[in-house]
Structure 1
């Protein structure tokens, strides 16, 4: 009889790393070359980094593709001192892999994600589904639920959206986002931008900026034209950063939340990709 734990099987190292065994079949590729293939990888959280990485036993990694790094970085990845350059598919990727200093993880190798830092492995799969940016945290949720709440959005006193058919997106660690049909948004008051972000839970977002005179940060509105299947209900709907606009739900005006975006909204800067599970 199999007994499943009721609590997370989490371990902590003296260096401040948090890790636990994973259950997903994970493959990482560079171009057309499979660099790692593992049924039970380890998920590792570094101090002050809320998203995890995968680490793999050495014998599950194509070590003949790795070379000792010529220019290893310092002060990265929790004091790691051993870095590797990756040579795969005819391309050199510097400092693409490393080992953690923790004794618990000394037999494991971790890899950078190209879509997150611009180097490392560029294609990742969990089971048969391609994933992006970073591993999805098994202890976080993203739920998109159709609703009949009355939601309005105002910018500088102008109502820019009014709907009774929003989709509410609940995501661990972020405020509720209200996705609104385009027909219920004054999209003529905004202009599309070339900004985009990627989210491992939702997909790739496109953005619009406010074209009025109020001090509103760029890229305050976004949409997912091709969301991942788990949140397909938000396809082509529009959402606003709660931190930068005034949202009223069923007659109650919401407080503007304080999040990683808040300093950027106050300064009128482009809203960043957050160090949380998702981009928006």
Structure 2
């Protein structure tokens, strides 16, 4: 009989000497390359690496099509915490380099982790938790995302110009990130922005479209976004638009908010220089 790191009833986050954190998950997870199911597991493990803010899955060997894995031809150095064993995926007439790996921790022996294709172009094409497709990375069970309609007064300025003003925002609270304020479109001066071809995906919210400020100055691109078809859990933000708090001036109920410093701050600074 196959054994697993912990019984679900004893679920708790464990820490390895290598600095990895992990816990077993009760979700049924599948990963596909084209029409081939490469992973089919009812006993996945969520793993957090010290340098990554989001979790990833690792799976028991018995739940993986290991016959499709080959020792990596050019394994990367230092890509995952302490990892030295990588595998290339050979499936459906295509080889994807370094698509899978094993963590060095004794606690995770007998498990294989995979890259997520839409983030790295090396892993699998589609991932599912139960019957729902999951994008970008696994959802963190210790993270909440709540979209709450509000009557608070929110105003946004760029270079001193008011570009949005509403008493009917939806406030999106996401663990470890600043509150995002989603405006009705009629309360935003969208004529001051140009739509771009930039898009991003989020496993909690869906796929976003973007606009850039057309007024010049030291304003990064893609500063305004919207989810035209959000996931059901945050349906209240559908079609609304939000700004990066990190790059605009927001006044909430008459109080000017400080611009937060987040991982997006660095991304925005880099974008403004490109």
Equivalent residues in 2 for 1:63-74, closer than 5 Å:
63-74=66-77
Match of residue 277 from structure 1: none
Change (3 A) 1:151 1:97: same
Q: Distance in 1 between matches of 2:273 and 2:231?
A: 25
Q: Distance in 1 between matches of 2:131 and 2:216?
A: 47
1:234 to 222, 232, 237: 237
Match of residue 104 from structure 1: 107
Q: Distance in 1 between matches of 2:165 and 2:36?
A: 49
What is the SS of the residue equivalent to 2:123?
coil
Match of residue 168 from structure 2: 165
Could you give the per-residue CA deviations for residues 129-172 of structure 1, whole angstroms, max 9, x where no partner exists? Answer: 00001000000000000111111111111111111111000000
Aligned residues of 2:8 and 2:24 also touching (Cα < 8 A): no
Q: Distance in 1 between matches of 2:59 and 2:215?
A: 51
**How many residue pairs are counted as aligned between the two chains?**
268
What is the SS of the residue equivalent to 1:269?
helix
Give yes or no for the alignment of 1:223 onto 2:233.
Answer: no
Equivalent residues in 2 for 1:116-265, closer than 5 Å:
116-265=119-268
| Contiguous gaps of at least 5 residues in structure 1 | 272-280
User: How high is the TM-score relative to the length of structure 2?
Assistant: 0.93
Once the two structures are TM-superposed, the CA of residue 268 in structure 1 deviates from its matched residue by 5.8
Could you give the per-residue CA deviations for residues 193-235 of structure 1, whole angstroms, max 9, x where no partner exists? Answer: 1111111111111110101133211111000111111111111
User: How high is the TM-score relative to the length of structure 1?
Assistant: 0.91
What is the SS of the residue equivalent to 2:181?
strand
| Contiguous gaps of at least 5 residues in structure 2 | 1-6
Could you give the per-residue CA deviations for residues 75-121 of structure 1, whole angstroms, max 9, x where no partner exists? Answer: 12112111111111221111111111111111000101011111111
Ranges of 4+ aligned residues in structure 1 off by more than 6 Å = none
